[in-house]
Structure 1
Amino acid sequence: MRCLIERRKQIFRGAAILAACLALVLIAKGRVRQGAREPQETSLRDEIPMVSLRDEFKAKIEDLQTAGLWKPNRSLKPCRNTRGSDACYDTACHQRPSEGLEERLQNVRRSAVTVDTAVRNDIMKILNVQPSGKRVLIITGASSDHFLESQGLIQSLHQNVFPELNNYTFVYYDLGLKAKQIQQLKKHCQCEVRRFPVEKMPPMHQKLRCYTWKAFIIEANIRLADILIWADASVRFHKSTIGPLLKEANAKGIMMEAGLYPFSVSDHVQKIMFDYFAEQTCYFAQVGEMQATFLVFKNERFIREAILKPWLACALDSRCMCPSDPEKLLMCNINVRKYNKCHRFDQAALNIILAKLFWGYEQSFTPSRKYIDVNRDGKVHYFDHL
């Protein structure tokens, strides 16, 4: 009998110890979940709760309203009373259906679901970017025929931006430079030179004239800084503007340079892209084209999920950013009004995404003041004087 009692005591002690161990494991797991940071690296198909994004969307608009940065697009004339490709109101087009915030988000993010994420992941591995730990990341890229043009950009950075900026990295992507040009860059640029490995890209993305490379470069780098600035070789920064620029970018989350003339997006986008985004061409006659020459992004979840992820999905899909024979679509006759007469590739997709999200207010995301000039074909021999 005594042995039986002792045996039962041992069993009870063992059960108590096991229960205590299980409790400790559960508590530890709870602490890990509670203290885990929000992962920034998500695939195109990763599901972010729509309620969370909708709340961030609403907060974005409210913050812009409070800051006086939320402004309606300018009023437009009917298309029959405007010249050339200017943005206008197509009276023959039925009105675009109105949408709530959640419906806008669902519609703009729907495209990302159909993308082969393995291709995206392979491209990110090929680019293989490494964190710099800097707050501001300035990126440009050029081929050999735009090398002198890019020296004008570098000169404006050296003289007007870098003296007023701390905690930054400047990256120059080689999109087809000559060996001598690369040597000059490494000597004079004050930048990190990275080669864009176009030959390693999937065949569809080896055509630089499709401009899918820009979406890939920005996707690969957006999580590595607080603010990412993309500047084409033609960009010239003004003096004493980088501080206000960063402040405005922090408030807006994204900025695109305003076009010199407000050309209609419907004229400069192929129908295949409008079909991809489930839109009618004529709706976008009233949307004024913004330029992808100069882009600024804040590294925040709403921008990554609601804007950059659909943009990347479009770049990866053969039905969107890069139609067949892209070279034939480059020239846009601005004196002729005709829907779908040419294509603006990466720029076209960003314009559509912003308009779908912020319909009637997308011009709020152009800079509120003059930070840069655009000087296309402006050749500068800056390195010769260093």
Structure 2
Amino acid sequence: MPYMRRPPISYVVLNSLKGHLLTNIAHQGYRSVRYCDFKFSAFVSYSRRKTEQSAAIQKTEVSAIPNECLCKYKDGDYDFCYHLPASYSIYGKRFNCNYLPVLDSLGLLGLLKFRYVPDTGNEKEDYISMTKNPVFVTAFSSNHYAEGTRLLYEIRSLWPKQFIIVYDLGLASEQTEIIQKLCDVQYRVFNFSAYPNYFTLLSQFRWKPVIIAETLKEFGSIWYMDTSVVFKKDNLSHVYDLVRCRQNVQNSARSVIPSSELRDEREQRTEHESGWDINQWRENVKECQKSAYLLHGYTGHGIFWATDPVVYEYFPTNFVEIKKPKAKMYEAGFVFVAKTREVITNILRWYVACALEQQCMAGTYGLHCSSTDSKRFSVFAKCHRFDQSVVNLLSANAYYYDRHYYVSEIVDFFNIVRGSTYHDLKPLMKC
């Protein structure tokens, strides 16, 4: 049954109530909500649409930038509001215009001058680069140094010549001295002085999207991994094939996305990832609809369960779909990324913008969650996962609120193991 049109409604609410009120109003049948925030003097527009559109690349006309989203920078006007990919009339609070130079330096502005991403009709034009041997990237401070030594030791055991970039987030001098002597390892100090001072709160992980963006700008594709990652095998071609298929397939030849109802049914009958299901993998390669920003490790709960409501002020979503079991949350600390236009436009640009905006990534809740295991999708557990909440929400928004399209569904090549004893890296200094 089509949605009944209701007149737009306006509310002025206290800051502490706004997230919940907007959520409820948007699902009472109103097509649009105009929200005024006294504190930030900004507006957020919400609307509902029944039809599902392609979230990654759409064929649509370029439209004027809304006044509340407009930023002036260098050569023109920029739209610095995130627009929901499936419905561009829905957009969030504008990010601080002062952060545009940072995005520019990371190569993330691109089509930000326009509200829409034009559809070229040819996926090859969207495909930017994927190097034969993606660079491995990690970052850690002194309290994760033991884990870091294990990661480097295990990588070198499997890939003797693999190029690795290590970002120093606060290592001791004797630790940096060892890292700098390792073969095929590039040591870099993360430049905290170039970013707001709250970047030094390492547990908010704002540095992570910046590091991913910085290295992706240099290299066609990367693996970013936290120190808790332990590789189990050296052949990763089955992961690469999920993205590499784009080089040979045009948009028109890629599989049609099933309806939300059919995908709900698929999720119910799909078992949790275990090893490598070759039949499913073959179907995924044939379908060729995976994101080029691929997550891998399931956290055990949904996105809505562990995402602070303040995030939705910047990144509106479909609150019906985001509460379903197919909108699962995956580890942000282990990702394979190939540089494509849709990755930059729909995920990485906004991932970095959120890191720069103090309230966007910080939220108001901590890591401790309060909810029963039986409601790990539809209930907010009053907790927040910082960068992980943000990148999962962006991925879900861009890929039909369905983890099938933003995760590899392959787990035979790694484990996540937190905590480690020190591994001697001196043998790795012999090139």
Q: Which amino acid aligns with 2:317?
A: E
TM-score scaled by length of structure 1: 0.64
Instruction: Pick the aligned partner of 1:206 from 200, 203, 221.
Output: 200
CA separation of 1:114 and 1:260: change in aligned 2, threshold 3 A: closer
SS of the residue 1:321 aligns to: helix
Instruction: Pick the aligned partner of 1:332 from 369, 373, 379.
Output: 369
Instruction: Pick the aligned partner of 1:321 from 356, 361, 382.
Output: 361
- Using the TM superposition, give the Cα deviation of residue 205 of structure 1 relative to its aligned residue in structure 2, in angstroms: 2.7
Instruction: Pick the aligned partner of 2:190 from 184, 189, 196.
Output: 196
Q: Does 1:148 align with 2:152?
A: no
Residue 313 of structure 2 aligns with which residue?
275
Residue 53 of structure 2 aligns with which residue?
100
Kept after mapping to 2: 8 A contact 1:259/1:291: yes
Instruction: Pick the aligned partner of 1:121 from 76, 79, 101.
Output: 101
Trace 1:9-24 onto structure 2 (pairs within 5 A): none
CA separation of 1:192 and 1:233: change in aligned 2, threshold 3 A: same
Q: Which amino acid aligns with 1:266?
A: F
Counterparts of 2:349 and 2:103, CA distance in 1: 14
Q: Does 1:309 align with 2:349?
A: yes
Structure 1: which 5+ residue stretches go unaligned? Answer: 1-92, 127-132
- Using the TM superposition, give the Cα deviation of residue 266 of structure 1 relative to its aligned residue in structure 2, in angstroms: 1.4
CA separation of 1:333 and 1:182: change in aligned 2, threshold 3 A: farther
CA separation of 1:134 and 1:257: change in aligned 2, threshold 3 A: closer
Counterparts of 1:353 and 1:114, CA distance in 2: 16
Structure 2: which 5+ residue stretches go unaligned? Answer: 1-26, 30-47, 59-82, 107-130, 246-289
Kept after mapping to 1: 8 A contact 2:293/2:335: yes
- Using the TM superposition, give the Cα deviation of residue 120 of structure 1 relative to its aligned residue in structure 2, in angstroms: 4.6
Counterparts of 1:204 and 1:260, CA distance in 2: 26
Instruction: Pick the aligned partner of 1:294 from 305, 330, 334.
Output: 334
- Using the TM superposition, give the Cα deviation of residue 274 of structure 1 relative to its aligned residue in structure 2, in angstroms: 2.1
Instruction: Pick the aligned partner of 2:228 from 195, 217, 234.
Output: 234
144-153 or 184-193: bigger deviation: 184-193
288-297 or 312-321: bigger deviation: 312-321
Counterparts of 2:92 and 2:213, CA distance in 1: 14
116-125 or 314-323: bigger deviation: 116-125
User: Could you list the per-position Cα deviations for residues 164-198 of structure 1 after superposition, in whole angstroms to 9, with x for gaps in the alignment?
Assistant: x6xxx311000111111101111236311111122
Instruction: Pick the aligned partner of 1:138 from 136, 143, 155.
Output: 136
Kept after mapping to 1: 8 A contact 2:93/2:314: no
Q: Which amino acid aligns with 1:332?
A: C
CA separation of 1:104 and 1:113: change in aligned 2, threshold 3 A: closer
Trace 1:1-386 onto structure 2 (pairs within 5 A): 97-101=50-54, 102=58, 104-105=84-85, 114-116=94-96, 118-122=98-102, 136-162=134-160, 169-188=163-182, 190-251=184-245, 252=290, 253-261=292-300, 263-279=301-317, 283-286=321-324, 287-323=327-363, 329-333=366-370, 335=372, 337=375, 338-369=379-410, 370-383=412-425
Kept after mapping to 2: 8 A contact 1:274/1:280: no
- Using the TM superposition, give the Cα deviation of residue 211 of structure 1 relative to its aligned residue in structure 2, in angstroms: 1.1
Counterparts of 1:330 and 1:108, CA distance in 2: 32
- Using the TM superposition, give the Cα deviation of residue 206 of structure 1 relative to its aligned residue in structure 2, in angstroms: 2.9
CA separation of 1:100 and 1:246: change in aligned 2, threshold 3 A: closer
SS of the residue 1:228 aligns to: strand
Kept after mapping to 2: 8 A contact 1:140/1:171: yes
Kept after mapping to 1: 8 A contact 2:371/2:381: no
Q: Root-mean-square deviation (CA), in Å?
A: 3.2
Counterparts of 2:386 and 2:140, CA distance in 1: 17
TM-score scaled by length of structure 2: 0.58
Counterparts of 2:418 and 2:89, CA distance in 1: 34
Select the structure of larger CA radius of gyration: 1
SS of the residue 1:297 aligns to: strand
Percent of residue pairs bearing the same amino acid type: 21
Residue 13 of structure 2 aligns with which residue?
none
Residue 49 of structure 1 aligns with which residue?
none
Structure whose residues are more often strand by fraction: 2
Residue 273 of structure 2 aligns with which residue?
none
- Using the TM superposition, give the Cα deviation of residue 271 of structure 1 relative to its aligned residue in structure 2, in angstroms: 0.6
- Using the TM superposition, give the Cα deviation of residue 119 of structure 1 relative to its aligned residue in structure 2, in angstroms: 2.7
User: Could you list the per-position Cα deviations for residues 75-97 of structure 1 after superposition, in whole angstroms to 9, with x for gaps in the alignment?
Assistant: xxxxxxxxxxxxxxxxxx88984
Counterparts of 1:311 and 1:196, CA distance in 2: 18
Kept after mapping to 2: 8 A contact 1:173/1:195: yes
- Using the TM superposition, give the Cα deviation of residue 223 of structure 1 relative to its aligned residue in structure 2, in angstroms: 2.2
- Using the TM superposition, give the Cα deviation of residue 362 of structure 1 relative to its aligned residue in structure 2, in angstroms: 2.8
Structure whose residues are more often helix by fraction: 1
Kept after mapping to 2: 8 A contact 1:161/1:237: no
Residue 19 of structure 2 aligns with which residue?
none
Kept after mapping to 1: 8 A contact 2:94/2:314: no
Kept after mapping to 2: 8 A contact 1:142/1:177: yes
User: Could you list the per-position Cα deviations for residues 185-226 of structure 1 after superposition, in whole angstroms to 9, with x for gaps in the alignment?
Assistant: 112363111111224421233322221111111122212112
- Using the TM superposition, give the Cα deviation of residue 111 of structure 1 relative to its aligned residue in structure 2, in angstroms: 6.1
Counterparts of 2:159 and 2:385, CA distance in 1: 29
SS of the residue 2:181 aligns to: helix
Counterparts of 1:188 and 1:342, CA distance in 2: 39
